[in-house]
């Protein structure tokens, strides 16, 4: 069965429409709750943990999920606004049966999403998501009146995660003397990230820490790191950290305002871990979107790059299957399973800061580890009901582009798992040829806008 509701990262859509209505959230809570009640082994009442980011619609979806979970007999523990990785960590720490993060990650405020975590703190497999979808077609198995669950607010969830995050920074080291700009995208980490950095001794310049329910990711955060870069230059900061709305992504900015993406951060961590004999099997796991320059850099160090489909959940699945401990995406998801079960922007930033403290080198010497191969990423929105990648004219354009590249570069063309977009990525050592082939494909796809 192909999943119809779940995308590459849970269920996502426009708030109060389609899959993101209170009715659907209630039904998802019932279906997912019953799935894990049936498969769990309990010495206590079944438990669900719910976190969220700062979107206004999160309150609506949270209330509906509570109704869904409690109606099938699950107790619910509410964390409030916390980063996505905190939900994975606390699901496992609190011995919960399921965790939920209400967030559309880096999307604008008018979108929202529901991400599920299993009792091990990892995101659900495709097979489990398919089973939850099947349950949506059945009548819910409601609890008897004396077995209805209850909801409890957990006041120290954010604090628990903060204390854990600090344990990933080298014992005995501090951030004294460092001025750090941290852009929290008016999202889930608006209190967490600045407080952790301050407690470790840094002078913190906060950006994007005034959420109002509608400004999450608004001209800020990891998809708009230019705002944090400008603050780095204005304040003379040593480093900029730019997170997304649910803080599972990070971009790093050096003193010159130059931006290092996930590939550069992964290259730095992989090299350090390999030198310390910590990089499992000498392998970094990344997606097909990661730059060819990263692959060449790792090979020059005797390290391997294992590529997966796009989506941090597929990176994590490959890591778990192969026994690897470092992976991520160019977009800034950095997964370190020695510490966390999903991408964690704050903990990845702490790894970068650890490198600065331990080597005494500035961010500018650490943030550009390899020279990237010229890369273009185009997002082309298509009209409702269109299927441009199934059109022969688009396929012919792709075949012609591949023939022109003739082994000198590569193309990755796919439909977004969260939006009506075709994502066109091309890489080639010849920038002029790259622009031409990507432009031709973009023009053909754009016929279906």
Residue ranges of domains in the chain, CATH in brackets: 11-155 (3.40.120.10), 161-257 (3.40.120.10), 260-366 (3.40.120.10), 375-448 (3.30.310.50)
pLDDT number for residue 45:
84
Which of 140, 159, 172, 170 has its CA nearest to residue 67? 140
DSSP 142: P
Across the range 330-347, mean pLDDT stands at 97
Which of 169, 185, 205, 191 has its CA nearest to residue 82? 191
Least-confidence region, from 6-10, 47-51, 86-90, 386-390: 6-10
Between CA 245 and CA 56 the distance in angstroms is 13
pLDDT number for residue 408:
87
Phi, psi of 111 (to 5 degrees): -100, 160
Handedness of CA 236, 224, 413, 320 (dihedral sign): positive
Which of 377, 444, 379 has its CA nearest to residue 417? 379
Residue 1 has pLDDT above 60, yes or no: no
Q: What is the pLDDT of residues 393-435, one digit of tens each?
A: 999 999 999 999 988 889 999 988 767 899 999 999 999 999 9
CA distances from 448 to 121, 316, 375, 382, 394 (A): 40, 34, 24, 6, 10
Mean pLDDT of the chain: 95
Least-confidence region, from 108-112, 259-263, 444-448: 444-448
Contacts of 41 (CB under 8 A, 6+ apart): none
Residue 3 has pLDDT above 70, yes or no: no
Q: What is the pTM of this model?
A: 0.91
pLDDT number for residue 419:
78
Q: What is the pLDDT of residues 240-292, one digit of tens each?
A: 999 999 999 999 999 999 999 999 999 999 999 999 999 999 999 999 999 99
Residue 8 has pLDDT above 90, yes or no: no
Which of 285, 288, 294, 310 has its CA nearest to residue 260? 294
Angle between helix axes 57-71 and 22-39 (nearest 10 degrees) is 40
Under a CB-based contact definition with an 8 Å cutoff, are residues 375 and 299 in contact? no
Residue 41 has pLDDT above 60, yes or no: no
Between CA 28 and CA 102 the distance in angstroms is 12
> Within 17-137, where are the H helices?
22-39, 57-71, 84-93, 126-136
Across the range 33-50, mean pLDDT stands at 81
DSSP 67: H
Between CA 207 and CA 185 the distance in angstroms is 7
Under a CB-based contact definition with an 8 Å cutoff, are residues 282 and 302 in contact? yes
CA distances from 258 to 105, 145, 184, 368 (A): 24, 59, 18, 9
Contacts of 9 (CB under 8 A, 6+ apart): 105, 113, 115, 123, 311, 312, 313, 417, 418
Q: Which residues are catalytic?
A: 105
Which of 71, 72, 68 has its CA nearest to residue 23? 68
Between CA 159 and CA 155 the distance in angstroms is 8
């Amino acid at each position: 069965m192909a999943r119809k509701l779940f995308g590459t990262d849970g269920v996502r859509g426009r708030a109060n429409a389609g899959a993101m209505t209170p009715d659907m959230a209630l039904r998802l809570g019932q279906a997912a709750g019953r799935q894990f009640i049936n498969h769990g082994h309990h010495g206590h009442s079944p438990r669900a943990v719910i976190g969220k980011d700062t979107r206004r619609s999160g309150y609506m979806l949270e209330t509906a999920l509570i109704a869904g979970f409690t109606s099938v007999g699950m107790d619910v523990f509410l964390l409030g606004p916390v980063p996505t990785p905190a939900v994975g960590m606390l699901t496992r720490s609190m011995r919960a049966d399921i965790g939920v993060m209400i967030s559309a990650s880096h999307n604008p405020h008018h979108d929202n999403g529901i991400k599920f975590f299993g009792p091990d703190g990892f995101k659900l497999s495709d097979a489990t998501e398919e089973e939850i979808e099947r349950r949506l077609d059945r009548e819910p198995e409601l609890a008897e009146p004396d077995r209805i669950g209850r909801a409890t607010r957990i006041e120290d969830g954010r604090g628990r995660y903060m204390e854990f995050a600090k344990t990933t920074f080298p014992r005995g080291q501090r951030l004294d003397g460092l001025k750090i700009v941290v852009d929290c995208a008016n999202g889930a980490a608006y209190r967490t990230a600045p407080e952790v950095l301050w407690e470790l001794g840094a002078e913190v310049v906060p950006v994007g820490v005034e959420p109002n329910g509608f400004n999450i990711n608004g001209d800020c955060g990891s998809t708009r790191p230019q705002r944090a870069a400008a603050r780095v230059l204005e304040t003379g900061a040593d480093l900029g950290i730019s997170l997304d709305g649910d803080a599972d992504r990070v971009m790093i900015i050096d003193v010159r305002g130059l931006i290092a993406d996930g590939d550069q951060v992964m290259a730095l961590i992989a090299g350090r871990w390999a030198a310390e004999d910590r990089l499992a099997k000498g392998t970094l796991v990344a997606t097909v979107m990661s730059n060819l320059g990263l692959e060449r850099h790792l090979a020059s160090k005797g390290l391997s790059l294992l590529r997966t489909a796009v989506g941090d959940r597929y990176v994590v699945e490959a890591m778990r299957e192969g026994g690897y401990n470092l992976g991520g995406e160019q977009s800034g998801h950095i997964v370190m399973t020695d510490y966390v079960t999903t991408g964690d922007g704050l903990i990845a930033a702490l790894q970068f800061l650890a490198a600065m403290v331990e080597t005494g080198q500035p961010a500018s010497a650490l943030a550009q580890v390899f020279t990237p191969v010229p890369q273009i990423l185009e997002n082309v929105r298509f009209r409702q009901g269109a299927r441009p990648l199934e059109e022969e004219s688009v396929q012919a354009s792709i075949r012609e582009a591949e023939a022109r590249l003739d082994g000198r570069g590569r193309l990755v063309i796919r439909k977004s798992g969260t939006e009506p977009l075709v994502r066109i990525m091309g890489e080639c050592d010849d920038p002029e040829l790259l622009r031409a082939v990507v432009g031709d494909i973009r023009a053909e796809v754009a016929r279906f806008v």
